[in-house]
Structure 1
Amino acid sequence: MIPYILLFFRCLCKIAREFRMLDFARFIGFFLCHAIWSVSNGEMLIPFRGDQTPTDRNLTRYTGDNQEMVTQLERELQSPTADVVFRVMCYDGFFTNQGVRRDSIYARACHYLSGGTSEVFMIVPYLPAHPTPTDFKVFRPKYISMPTTTDIGPFTEALWEGIFAHQQGATVWNTHMDQSE
């Protein structure tokens, strides 16, 4: 009887972890969408950090030299305050894929667990709104790294749920989405 109870609790713990990873994906998607919405008018993204606590979600922008701000954000990503469950940093940069260099939103996110940290690193390439707003295009998100235990299908579905939860950004994303890349 004891082994079955132990197995039952292990299954419950695994299910709870998977639900938290899906919440984490929604969190990342929401802030990625906010970043895309922010650059859709042709401006460069001001680097920002998004935090999720058990009771609140907030965004902090960082002004100054872009590289210095990214360095500061990376330090903060590795040293969260006690109440932060999820943290994401988003910044503008370039990414080269198959010889094509694109403006891209970079997102590095951490899920702070009692036994350690789970980290996801991804980008969303885009074409800037230059010289006209109609030139703006958003390409598919690309995972750079993520935990090997993550089931990519449900994680990606939850990521899109988070993207569509940002109403203004989702409108921009849907209008300018380009699935060619």
Structure 2
Amino acid sequence: MSAILALALAQATAPAAAPMPTGDALVQTVEANDAALFWGFFEGCDPDAVAALLHPDFRMVHDLVGLAHDSAADIVEDSRRNCARRAPGGEPEGYKNRRLFVPGSRHVQKLGDWGVLEEGHHTFLEYQRVAPGSEERHWVQTGGGRYIHTWQWMPEEGRFRLLESLSLDHGPAPAYPPEQAG
């Protein structure tokens, strides 16, 4: 009888598994995760904030380098090193970069109750000097690409974690302003 009572007490105190969001709530959750992820890795330079979004088995495959990261710990540590280099006295001291999502390019596909597939396009910018030796700087678009993310729903945690990132179609920034049609 005590084993049954212990089991019942354990079940009563265990956190309930949260259902995966659906509809607009699902899309809004993915959008918020996407924004936090890229802010932390780029402009915000806050790898610790990003760590909570990553699945421990995270991996990133990149079209220019192949397997770029084989774990959450690897990408967080790499980001931590890069952010430290930007600090006063670091090699690229004051370096800033930014990722901008291309509006209207996001596609979210539910994968049963397991998770979602997110696909979108983004551009990259760097805060560069207007001219060599000048202190004046401005944002310059340096390239763009496409990404596909697999977000796994973690019912015990009531949230998604990024399991895999495919980073594709990287290329130079398009000319701006665009050439006028003749």
Greater helix content:
1
Greater strand content:
2
TM superposition score normalised by structure 2:
0.30
Task: Specify the structure having the higher radius of gyration (Cα).
Answer: 2
**Greater relative CO (CA pairs within 8 A, separation 6+):** 1
TM superposition score normalised by structure 1:
0.30
